[in-house]
């Protein structure tokens, strides 16, 4: 998907820097709309977007993940339009293999929570089940086509994660604690972070801590005082990481 967008942009005469800048603006706009829809105050949204280490890494370094998150945010914003949402989800998975993990964690958390929730409307339950089945099918297709490549990546991350041990879980556990305190649906939070911690133990925390932060933003109720305090605290820490990262970019390039 990243290659296709780059190819289209190139044929339309866009310089790669211009194209990536356009995608950065699109990502930021979608993130703003998503956070606004979740009930985040304008000030909190600005704080998140301007201090977030993960956003800056995606802006400057992770081009494929940038495209994947754009389609993921589209999926989250248009979930009521079932088929368009499904296409967006598929595009996100094909843009970056790592999104298989995030999609599986999120959909599985919703599915398990729905099983426990007898009051959930039947249509909503069926929709979650269909998303889960489609995501699983798309993942199988990806593994069939790129199995050897994915296997090599998994083996590399697994070997790296063994050297970290349980320490690799520290950031995810902090995110879980803060998310649990500020969330309305605590069951979803538990299911999401259990799955994430298992993935981190096998694949390491290098990339997956980003998903811990995404889960935090997605599941908390931003109107709660504890959530606002958590956002400010995490933003302070991520601002420090952002400054260090931008310093590296300045001296050594992206």
Kindly state the percentage of the chain with pLDDT values over 90.
31
Q: What is the mean pLDDT of residues 18-35?
A: 92
Beta carbons within 8 Å of 155's beta carbon, 6+ residues apart: none
Is the Cβ–Cβ distance between 221 and 227 less than 8 Å?
yes
Residue-range definition of the domain harbouring residue 19: 1-95
Confidence at residue 182, expressed as pLDDT on a 0 to 100 scale: 93
What's the chain's average pLDDT? 79
- Does any domain span residue 162? no
Higher pLDDT: 200 or 109? It is 200
Alpha helices in 1-62 (DSSP H): 2-11, 16-37, 42-51, 53-60
Can you tell me the mean pLDDT for 63-78? Answer: 89
- The three-class DSSP label of residue 214 is helix
Residue 243 resides in a domain: no
Whole-prediction pTM = 0.78
**Residue 80: inside a domain, yes or no?**
yes
Report yes or no on 28 lying in a domain: yes
In a domain, 47, yes or no: yes
What's residue 102's pLDDT? 79
Q: Is the pLDDT of residue 119 over 70?
A: no
Kindly tell me if the per-residue pLDDT of 222 is higher than 80: yes
Domain count, the chain: 1
pLDDT band at 31 (very low <50, low <70, confident <90, very high): very high
The reported pLDDT for the residue numbered 39 is 92
Segment (H or E) for 180: helix 170-182
Question: Please, what sign has the CA dihedral across residues 246, 103, 94, 80?
Answer: negative
Of 31, 43, 37, 125, the C-alpha closest to 69 is 31
Q: Which residues contact 187 (CB under 8 A, 6 or more apart)?
A: 112, 113, 116, 117
CA dist 60 and 17 (Å) reads 10
Q: Which residue's structure tokens are 């069939």? A: 144
Please state whether 11 falls in left (phi above 0), alpha (psi between -120 and 50) or beta: alpha
What pLDDT does residue 139 have? 60
Instruction: Find the mean pLDDT for residues 205-209.
Output: 77
Q: Among 234, 214, 211, 223, which residue's Cα sits nearest to residue 184? A: 223
Nearest to 112 by CA among 197, 195, 211, 217: 195
pLDDT for position 181: 94
What count of Cα atoms within 13 Å lies in the side-chain half-sphere of residue 2? 14
Residue 42 confidence (pLDDT): 93
Mean pLDDT of 155-174: 66
Residue 12 pLDDT exceeds 80 = no
pLDDT at residue number 128? 62
Token look-up 């990243």 returns: 2
Domain membership flag for residue 69: yes
- Report the pLDDT averaged over residues 82-97: 80
Overall average pLDDT of the 21-37 stretch = 93
Reading phi first (left if > 0) and then psi (alpha if -120 to 50, else beta), residue 44 is in: alpha
Specify if 157 maps to a domain. no
Position 33 scores a pLDDT of: 95
Residue 121's pLDDT band, with cuts at 50, 70 and 90, is low
78: in domain: yes
Answer yes or no: is pLDDT of 81 > 90: no
């Amino acid at each position: 998907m990243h290659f296709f967008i780059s190819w289209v942009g190139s044929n339309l005469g866009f310089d790669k820097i211009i194209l990536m800048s356009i995608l950065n603006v699109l990502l930021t706009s979608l993130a703003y709309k998503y956070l606004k829809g979740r009930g985040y105050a304008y000030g909190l949204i600005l704080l998140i977007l301007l201090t977030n280490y993960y956003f800056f890494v995606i802006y400057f370094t992770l081009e494929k993940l940038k495209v994947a998150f754009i389609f993921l945010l589209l999926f989250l914003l248009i979930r009521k339009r079932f088929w368009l949402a499904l296409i967006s989800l598929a595009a996100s998975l094909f843009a970056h293999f790592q999104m298989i993990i995030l999609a599986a964690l999120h959909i599985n958390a919703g599915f398990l929570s729905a099983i426990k929730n007898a009051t959930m409307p039947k249509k909503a339950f069926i929709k979650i089940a269909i998303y889960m089945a489609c995501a699983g099918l798309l993942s199988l297709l990806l593994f069939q086509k790129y199995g050897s490549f994915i296997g090599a990546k998994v083996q590399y991350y697994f070997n790296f994660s063994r050297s970290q041990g349980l320490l690799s879980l520290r950031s995810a556990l902090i995110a879980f604690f803060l998310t649990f305190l500020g969330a309305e649906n605590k069951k979803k939070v538990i299911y999401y972070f259990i799955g994430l911690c298992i993935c981190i133990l096998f694949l390491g925390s290098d990339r997956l801590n980003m998903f811990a932060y995404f889960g935090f933003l997605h599941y908390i109720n931003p109107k709660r005082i504890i959530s606002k305090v958590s956002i400010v605290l995490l933003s302070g820490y991520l601002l420090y990481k952002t400054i260090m990262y931008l310093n590296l970019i300045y001296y050594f390039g992206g």
